[in-house]
Amino acid sequence: MKEERQEAQEMILMSGLRGPSLEFACTLPQEDQDNIEAFSQQLINQFPFEKKVVNKFDVWM
């Protein structure tokens, strides 16, 4: 069950990637790709989010 959940999380994360972030994700070592926490942290480190206000709403881009 835990493995299925982790695999589903990985598929959801990968499905949301586009352009440079997808290219970067595919170059990560396999052990980082297999660990959702390490994978997510690598993406955050490479592509930090910025908080912007759009029409009075906070948007993370």
Give the number of domains in the chain. 1
Return the pLDDT at 52. Answer: 65
pLDDT tens digits, 4-53 = 877 777 777 777 777 787 788 878 788 877 787 888 888 888 877 766 66
Q: What is the Cα–Cα distance from 57 to 47, expressed in whole angstroms?
A: 21
Whether residue 59 has pLDDT greater than 70? no
Q: What is the Cα–Cα distance from 20 to 2, expressed in whole angstroms?
A: 30
Return the pLDDT at 3. Answer: 79
Does this model's pTM top 0.75? My answer is no
**Structural domain for 49, as ranges:** 2-60
Return the pLDDT at 56. Answer: 64
Q: What is the Cα–Cα distance from 32 to 52, expressed in whole angstroms?
A: 30
Whether residue 54 has pLDDT greater than 80? no
Q: How far is CA 30 from CA 17, 39, 40, 43, 51, in A?
A: 17, 10, 13, 14, 31
